[in-house]
Structure 1
Amino acid sequence: MHGALKGITILEVGVMTPGQYCGFLMTGWGAASIRIEREHAASGITNEDLLLNRGKRSIVLNLRAPDDHATFLELTRTADVLIESYRPGVTTRLGIDYDAIRAINPGIIYCSQSGFGQTGPEAGRAAYDMLFQAETGLLHALNANAAEMTAPQTYMADAANGLMAAFAICAALQGRNQTGEGRHIDLSMQETAFSLLSVSHGTMRDGEAVSGKDAADRSLRPANNIYRTRDGRHIVITAMSEKSSRALFGYFGDEELWQQGLETGNPKNQAKDFLQAQFAGNDAQHWVDTLTPLEIEIGMVKTPEEAFDNRQLMARNMVLDTQDQAGNVLRQIGFPATPRATPNLEPAPEPGANQQELTTRTAK
């Protein structure tokens, strides 16, 4: 299964994090991805590049220069997928829009990733990840119980858009297998972020997110909450079933509180204060080690650095020991949903590393 996309060639042009992530995921399944770097990118490689450009090739092209433009069009002739992240209208001005590329390669899957999509009153508006989270209600949902709104520490909209792009492209490739026709995929960062609310706030009735109230209620239940431990760490309890809640409160000698553990909106609810007092009596790891064997859903809030030492992730090859082009040792995140024979990709290339190879190929 690792080579399921073997033989598929992807061009990444003008892409930002979502496009890089999409290419990274598809490369993990065997696709060959070529980065079309801008001239100013030739100055070096970023930390993001070290991970998301693994296994890819790179060429630096100025698409406004006639020779480089011709080289790019030749690359599209044999490509299966093109991913671009320009603002709407830019690809038309560069002469590389879907219609122009389709005239050369009718079967190409052309994926446009933009902030607000190719159409609509705000199509040309500039924005980055947190703005999409803010305007779609996602940021509010993540901060619903916080005393003060805080900025997210991960690019959730970027990652979701990359995932959606990979899914849409694979679906389009399957469609091409059936019809022989290519497709233009119009992906909006705003829409992708908004779609993440489907599992919690996806339905409105009388001006209120119906399922959102349920989600908020769940996050307020004492048996589904975050607690501080003696060592200053935090643990998460998700004892959402009657069985788990009974086991949790029973361990602490007060099984009668299990119902309050699953309640919200009761001003006399003593369960949260009771649990906080219990958990404050020992360290986080003690509680994880003690309650996990009882099948009580518990885990420790970890930093990203600590997550790299997670034994489950390591056992499933989601933490990889790799090297960059200079031989420096790196630990990097692996590929989800792949066979356990994790692909051994080459280090991320410096911009233009494959210039001669790719230029020579298109000149033939």
Structure 2
Amino acid sequence: MRNPMQGVRVLEVAQFTFVPAAGAVLADWGADVIKVEHAERGDGQRGLVKVLGYDAVSEGSSFAPIMEGPNRGKRSVGLALERPGARRVLDDLIRSSDVFLTNFLPEARAKLRIDLEDVRAVNPDIIYVRGSGFGVRGAEAGKGGYDSTAYWARGGSAAGVTPPAADRMTRMPAGAYGDNVGGMTIAGGIAAALYSRAMTGQPSVVDVSLLGVGAWATQFTVNLALMNGGPLPVRTPPRYGSATNPLVGAYRTADDRWIELSMLQPGRYWGEFCKLAGREDLAADERFDSTAKLMGNAAEAAGIVAGIIAGRTLAEWTEILARGEGQWAAVQNPWDVGQDPALRANGLIAQVVDAEGVDRELVANPVQFDETPVELTRAPQFAEHTDEVLLSLGLTEEQLLALKIDGAVS
């Protein structure tokens, strides 16, 4: 297996998902990621037993996907950074690391002396990485943010998927939705910073905000609005198909599933679809027998397509549409995604053994090197590697015990 980050040490002082997800990706790529958790409380996500109304922990086990996903492959050290005794340990970790990764707010960073100047004073060559809600400049630089606020709401996604005149806002489709996208973005920034340091000898400061990632995700419509000089006109999409193409959009099957059609050239694919559906007569229908007529009568054609799709089950359409060249996909729920044959064929649903020795599965990060699927190791238990890491820094057993008695380490 190719591990392009092997030999890179990342020191992560962060919690929840946004920034820790970046550490997980780097660990997947071979980096040694040391996660600093508070000596008593640990990562704030460790205490969550319910997420979106679902049980967050596997019954009778320590396995918790909310921790495993953004923390797999790391080593955990429990440090009470507010205690003077922990400072020497932190400085030793900083000194031996290539990357310092945090999502602590400016006030907390200053209080704990983990701001850029503090960290660079110990290791001038370290790459310093901050994940924030709204960026490091401006009036909101000190404001905290979650992906539901900074990414989903402020970044434009919520408005983009909420129908006009809806009585409620459409929620994110999954927990930590923007956090995971943001974590992947941070990992890419760190990779670029490591390359730049190798080429120039100069370390970078890397900043990624959830708001910035959210705006990047919605840039197409944001850019249109900027070109327009104001809000875009409200468009109510047709019930079926698009305004000019009956072969674009979602259609319900006989078993109440959905198929998303994305055949962007209606003239090219209309005849094929009609033949596959057993309705070749529609291709010759004078309302639809040319591209111009099909586009002009798209609403009428889409209504007919909706009736055709509703006549068969998802399994039947999966077999039928697989024979054609037009693009389409089944609309999948989380279980379906976990069983997706393409994901499994490419090793993107990866096995991991939990702390109790039970085989589990997690979604792998989407980047592979040399056509080799990633091999995952579980997330650490709280402060699991404190002794191992601190002894490797040169502390003696007596010094380690004294730090524990002092409450500086777990």
After TM superposition, the score normalised by the length of structure 2 is: 0.81
| TM superposition shift of 1:49 | 1.5
Q: How does 1:270-289 map to 2 (within 5 A)?
A: 270-289=300-319
Of the three residues 310, 313, 316, the one matched with 2:346 is 316
Task: Verify the 8 A CA contact 2:352 2:376 in the aligned structure 1.
Answer: no
Of the three residues 337, 349, 362, the one matched with 2:380 is 349
- Counterpart of 2:212 in structure 1 is 191
Residue identity matched to 2:21: Y
- Counterpart of 1:36 in structure 2 is 36
Task: Verify the 8 A CA contact 2:99 2:126 in the aligned structure 1.
Answer: yes
- Counterpart of 1:294 in structure 2 is 324
- Counterpart of 1:231 in structure 2 is 255
Task: Verify the 8 A CA contact 2:351 2:376 in the aligned structure 1.
Answer: no
What is the RMSD of the two structures over their aligned residues, measured on CA atoms?
Answer: 2.7
Q: 2: distance between equivalents of 1:294 and 1:84?
A: 49
Residue identity matched to 2:262: T
The range that moved more, 12-21 or 69-78, is 12-21
| TM superposition shift of 1:8 | 0.5
The range that moved more, 279-288 or 197-206, is 197-206
Cα distance change of structure 1 residues 345 and 354 upon mapping to structure 2, 3 Å threshold: same
- Counterpart of 2:51 in structure 1 is none
Residue identity matched to 1:83: L
Q: 1: distance between equivalents of 2:20 and 2:208?
A: 14
Of the three residues 246, 257, 260, the one matched with 1:222 is 246
Cα distance change of structure 1 residues 274 and 355 upon mapping to structure 2, 3 Å threshold: same
Unaligned runs of 5+ in 2: 48-61, 396-410
- Counterpart of 2:408 in structure 1 is none
Residue identity matched to 2:380: P
- Counterpart of 2:269 in structure 1 is 244
Q: 2: distance between equivalents of 1:229 and 1:69?
A: 61
Task: Verify the 8 A CA contact 1:201 1:209 in the aligned structure 2.
Answer: no
Of the three residues 117, 120, 140, the one matched with 2:159 is 140
Q: How does 1:17-36 map to 2 (within 5 A)?
A: 17-36=17-36
Of the three residues 161, 175, 189, the one matched with 2:182 is 161
- Local SS of the residue matching 1:270: helix
Task: Verify the 8 A CA contact 1:222 1:261 in the aligned structure 2.
Answer: no
- Local SS of the residue matching 1:281: coil
The Cα offsets for residues 230-251 of structure 1, whole Å up to 9 and x where unpaired, read as 1111111111123223422454
- Local SS of the residue matching 1:205: helix
Q: 2: distance between equivalents of 1:239 and 1:315?
A: 25
Q: How does 1:9-24 map to 2 (within 5 A)?
A: 9-24=9-24
Cα distance change of structure 1 residues 159 and 188 upon mapping to structure 2, 3 Å threshold: same
Q: 2: distance between equivalents of 1:62 and 1:319?
A: 36
The range that moved more, 272-281 or 238-247, is 238-247
Q: How does 1:203-214 map to 2 (within 5 A)?
A: 203=224, 204-208=226-230
Q: 2: distance between equivalents of 1:343 and 1:206?
A: 44
- Counterpart of 2:392 in structure 1 is 361
Q: 2: distance between equivalents of 1:273 and 1:219?
A: 11
The range that moved more, 350-359 or 149-158, is 149-158
Q: 1: distance between equivalents of 2:293 and 2:264?
A: 9
The Cα offsets for residues 60-102 of structure 1, whole Å up to 9 and x where unpaired, read as 1110011112211110001001110011232122111111111
- Local SS of the residue matching 1:331: strand
Q: 1: distance between equivalents of 2:350 and 2:293?
A: 40
Q: 1: distance between equivalents of 2:165 and 2:261?
A: 18
Q: 2: distance between equivalents of 1:78 and 1:262?
A: 65
Q: 2: distance between equivalents of 1:260 and 1:130?
A: 43
Q: 1: distance between equivalents of 2:77 and 2:227?
A: 52
Task: Verify the 8 A CA contact 2:246 2:302 in the aligned structure 1.
Answer: yes
The Cα offsets for residues 150-188 of structure 1, whole Å up to 9 and x where unpaired, read as 211223321221121111111111110122121211221
Task: Verify the 8 A CA contact 1:88 1:114 in the aligned structure 2.
Answer: no
The Cα offsets for residues 245-277 of structure 1, whole Å up to 9 and x where unpaired, read as 3422454321253747974xx688202211110
Of the three residues 330, 334, 344, the one matched with 2:364 is 334
Q: 1: distance between equivalents of 2:304 and 2:155?
A: 36
Unaligned runs of 5+ in 1: none
Residue identity matched to 1:14: A
- Local SS of the residue matching 2:256: coil
Q: 2: distance between equivalents of 1:199 and 1:250?
A: 35
Task: Verify the 8 A CA contact 1:234 1:301 in the aligned structure 2.
Answer: yes
- Counterpart of 1:150 in structure 2 is 170
- Counterpart of 2:194 in structure 1 is 173
Alignment: residue pair count: 361
Identity %: 26
- Local SS of the residue matching 1:110: strand
Task: Verify the 8 A CA contact 2:349 2:364 in the aligned structure 1.
Answer: yes
| TM superposition shift of 1:201 | 3.6
